[in-house]
Amino acid sequence: MEKVETGFTGLYIIKPAIYSDERGYFFECYNSESFKKAGISFIPVQDNESKSTRGVIRGLHYQLKPHDQAKLIRVIEGKIYDVALDLRKSSRTFGKWFGIELDSESKQQLFIPRGFAHGFSVLSDAAIVQYKVDDIYNKLSERGIALTDPVLDIDWRLGDTAPVISEKDQKNPPLRRAEMNF
């Protein structure tokens, strides 16, 4: 496993070691010892999976303290544009976002520390996304930020594809009005 810096404290691209031969491939999606050796403290307690079609945008989601979550994102099938937004008020990158294409071919993953909002858009006909989290989902702590906040100006890379956004996500406030306690 290789840990790649992103310029955001604690936010890393994870490149797993992939072993391929005539049978196919094998790789460790997560190994607590490898993460520990790389200096990443992460013990997942819940696995989540979603399937979405082209143009779907999910996010920008997070949970307030004490139920905030670190996440390890990977794509099992398809391709997404994954975005992490720094909500840590004391961070030099507060209010800035990082985006990366993740796909089932490269098997790269994104480790998102606590204190970030997360979202993604689907760039392929369909995408199955799996993410591990280090705290259980807590409905009362769930929050979101508007995907189309003009201050953030996130290009979800959909081109001419019309975005498909849930009614719930359409009601999320812009960053300047979002509740956060990081």
Residue 116: what pLDDT? 98
Residue 123: what pLDDT? 98
Q: Is domain 45-177 annotated with CATH 2.60.120.10?
A: yes
Considering the candidates 12, 62, 81, 131, report the single residue annotated as catalytic: 131
For the question of residue 67 being annotated catalytic, the response is no
Below-50 pLDDT ranges, the chain:
none
Paired strand residues for 128 = 51, 77
Domain ranges of the chain: 45-177
Cα–Cα nearest to 117, from 132, 140, 96: 96
Cα–Cα nearest to 129, from 147, 146, 162, 104: 104
Considering the candidates 61, 62, 67, 137, report the single residue annotated as catalytic: 61
Cα–Cα nearest to 69, from 119, 139, 137: 137
For the question of residue 131 being annotated catalytic, the response is yes
Cα–Cα nearest to 61, from 78, 43, 48, 42: 48
Would the pTM of this model clear 0.75, i.e. be above it? yes
pLDDT in tens, 142-171: 999 999 999 999 999 999 999 999 999 999
